[in-house]
C-alpha cells in the first residue's frame, strides 16, 4: 500500500511538472518569442505506466522476500545481524545517497540562479 501511495505521488508530481515547467522555462528564457508548449499525452501515459511498474516491482519484492524464510526461527535464535555490507544494502543505500547529493546540487543551482537574477535586476535599475 505504501509503494502505491509513493508511486502515485511521484507520478502526480511528474505530471504536474510536465504541464507547467516547460512553459515556465520557455517564458523565462525567451519571453519575446512567445513559445507555447503543449504537453504530450504519450509522455503522460508513460509516466503513469512507469508508476504502476515501479509500484509492482518495489512493493512486491520485499513482500515476496519476507515469505520465503523461517522468520520465527530467526527471531527465536536472537543472533545479531551480520556486520558486513551486503549487495542488497548497497543497492538500498546507494540511490538514497545519490538522491541527497542531487538535491543538494539542485538547491545550490537554484540559489545561484536567484543570486544571478538579483544582480542583473540591480544592475538594470542603476542605469
pLDDT in tens, 22-44: 888 888 887 777 777 777 788 88
Instruction: Please give the share of the chain, as a percent, with pLDDT higher than 90.
Output: 2
Its domain, for residue 114, covers: 82-127
Assess whether 72 and 120 both reside in one domain: no
- pLDDT of res. 104: 92
Which residues, other chains included, contact 23 with Cβ-Cβ below 8 Å and sequence gap of 6+?
35, 36, 37
Q: Looking at the predicted structure, is the pLDDT value of residue 98 above 70?
A: yes
Assess whether 38 and 21 both reside in one domain: yes
Q: Name the domain boundary from 56, 79, 102.
A: 79
Assess whether 13 and 56 both reside in one domain: yes
Domain count, the chain: 2
Q: Looking at the predicted structure, is the pLDDT value of residue 20 above 70?
A: yes
- pLDDT confidence tier of residue 124, bands split at 50, 70 and 90: low
Alpha-carbon distance values, 93 to 23, 38, 99 (Å):
35, 37, 10
Assess whether 52 and 100 both reside in one domain: no
Amino acid at each position: 500500500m505504501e509503494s502505491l501511495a509513493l508511486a502515485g505521488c511521484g507520478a502526480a508530481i511528474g505530471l504536474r511538472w510536465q504541464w507547467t515547467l516547460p512553459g515556465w522555462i520557455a517564458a523565462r528564457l525567451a519571453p519575446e518569442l512567445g513559445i507555447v508548449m503543449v504537453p504530450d499525452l504519450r509522455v503522460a501515459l508513460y509516466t503513469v505506466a512507469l508508476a504502476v511498474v515501479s509500484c509492482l516491482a518495489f512493493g512486491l519484492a520485499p513482500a515476496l522476500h519476507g515469505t520465503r524464510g523461517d522468520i520465527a526461527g530467526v527471531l527465536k535464535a536472537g543472533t545479531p545481524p551480520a556486520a558486513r555490507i551486503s549487495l542488497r544494502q548497497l543497492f538500498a543505500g546507494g540511490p538514497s545517497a545519490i538522491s541527497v547529493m542531487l538535491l543538494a546540487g539542485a538547491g545550490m543551482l537554484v540559489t545561484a540562479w536567484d543570486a544571478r537574477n538579483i544582480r542583473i535586476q540591480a544592475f538594470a535599475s542603476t542605469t
